[in-house]
């Protein structure tokens, strides 16, 4: 996936062999996911599905899980997250990234007495209390705000660094109106799906996000304005 991934552990067990093995397991899990799902690898399951070489009977069980999750994601986002397997450009990357990182972090979660923070290309899954800065999409060397998360996930989707790469599935055109959306919540898979769907949907997505139980969001409009759901956890925005 070409993702920079960093793993940060702390606590009394942080320097032990068990932690070292768990960190190695995190990266092994991510490599396995990459081998299955990368659209850049011609031999990945996704590439083979796209070429019509792999029918459902030959799917890896993990691909089966991802396809099921993609279907649920489409339903849960009113269609704004759309990665349907029946299309020639089938690309579940928008879901796989968060899902794979959350799944990989389970190796760390299995160790008691260890706080961790896994950051994969700006998507974060944690245990323990961590302060997460939210990058300014217009100036990646600056932050917009910081949030404290305790055992939660933080996902950001947007057009920064790659141009407008999220498409509104209803228009087929690049999404407009938002340059980035950050979602905080219990699951990185769903935080990432919601953030991506919100970028596709545009600024009015804040109303939809506000109604999602357990998840809060900060939206950066292309004009630089900020929107946040009412429960957005930044102390500076208490209202």
Partner 1 sequence: MRKITMWFVSTVAAVVLLFSYRTSTMGPASAGGSTAAAGAPGVVSGGDPAATNQTATTDTVVNGSVAQTRWGPVQVQVHISNNKITGATTLQVPDGNRRDKEINSYAVPRLNDEVLAAQSAHIDTVSGATVTSDGYLESLQAALDAAHLPG
Which region among 24-32, 33-41, 75-83, 217-225 touches partner 1 (by CB under 8 A)?
A: 217-225
Q: How far apart, in whole angstroms, are the C-alpha atoms of residue 114 and residue 204? A: 39
Which region among 22-30, 70-78, 105-113, 222-230 touches partner 1 (by CB under 8 A)?
A: 222-230
Do 81 and 73 meet the contact criterion of CB atoms below 8 Å apart? yes
Q: What distance lies between CA 59 and its chain's CA centroid?
A: 23
Q: What distance lies between CA 217 and its chain's CA centroid?
A: 13
Is 161 near partner 1 (CB under 8 A)? yes
Q: Cβ 147 to partner 1, closest distance in Å? A: 8
Do 66 and 158 meet the contact criterion of CB atoms below 8 Å apart? no
Q: How far apart, in whole angstroms, are the C-alpha atoms of residue 188 and residue 233? A: 16
Which region among 28-36, 40-48, 83-91, 136-144 touches partner 1 (by CB under 8 A)?
A: 136-144
Q: Where are the alpha helices (DSSP H) in the chain?
A: 17-37, 45-50, 61-76, 93-109, 188-201, 205-210
Q: Cβ 188 to partner 1, closest distance in Å? A: 11
Query: Binding string, 3-32, against partner 1, x = CB under 8 A?
Result: xx-x-x------------------------
> Which residues are bridge partners to 220 per DSSP?
180, 226
Tokens for 208, please give them.
């939809």
Q: Cβ 57 to partner 1, closest distance in Å? A: 33
Sole binder of partner 1 in the list 140, 151, 214, 231 (CB under 8 A): 140
Which region among 22-30, 59-67, 73-81, 155-163 touches partner 1 (by CB under 8 A)?
A: 155-163
Q: Cβ 121 to partner 1, closest distance in Å? A: 5
DSSP 40: T
Tokens for 132, please give them.
């997460």
Is 159 near partner 1 (CB under 8 A)? yes
Give the up-direction half-sphere exposure of residue 190: CA atoms within 13 A in the CB hemisphere: 15
Is 187 near partner 1 (CB under 8 A)? no
Q: Cβ 176 to partner 1, closest distance in Å? A: 14
**Which bin fits 232, alpha (ψ -120 to 50), beta or left (φ > 0)?**
beta
Sole binder of partner 1 in the list 2, 163, 172, 211 (CB under 8 A): 2
Residues that bind partner 1 (CB under 8 A): 2-4, 6, 8, 117, 119, 121-124, 130-135, 137, 140-141, 143-146, 154-162, 180, 182, 203-204, 206-207, 210, 218-219, 224-230, 232, 236-237, 239
């Amino acid at each position: 996936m070409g993702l920079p991934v960093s793993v940060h552990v702390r606590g009394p067990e942080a320097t032990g062999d068990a932690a070292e093995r768990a960190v190695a397991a995190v990266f092994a899990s991510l490599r396995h996911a990459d081998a299955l799902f990368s659209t850049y690898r011609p031999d990945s399951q996704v590439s083979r599905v796209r070429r019509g070489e792999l029918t459902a009977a030959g799917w890896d069980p993990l691909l089966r899980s991802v396809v099921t999750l993609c279907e649920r994601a489409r339903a849960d986002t009113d269609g704004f997250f759309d990665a349907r397997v029946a299309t020639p450009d089938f690309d579940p990357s928008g879901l796989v990234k968060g899902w794979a990182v959350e799944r990989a972090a389970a190796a760390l979660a299995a160790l008691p007495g260890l706080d961790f923070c896994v950051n994969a290309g700006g998507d974060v899954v944690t245990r323990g209390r961590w302060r997460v800065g939210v990058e300014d999409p217009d100036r990646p060397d600056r932050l917009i705000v910081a949030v404290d998360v305790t055992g939660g996930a933080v996902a950001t989707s947007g057009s920064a660094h790659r141009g407008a790469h999220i498409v509104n599935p209803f228009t087929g055109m690049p999404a407009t109106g938002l340059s980035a959306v950050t979602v905080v919540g219990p699951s990185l898979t769903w935080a990432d799906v919601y953030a991506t769907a919100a970028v596709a949907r545009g600024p009015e997505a804040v109303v939809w996000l506000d109604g999602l139980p357990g998840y809060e969001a900060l939206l950066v409009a292309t004009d630089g304005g900020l929107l946040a759901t009412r429960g957005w956890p930044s102390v500076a925005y208490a209202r």
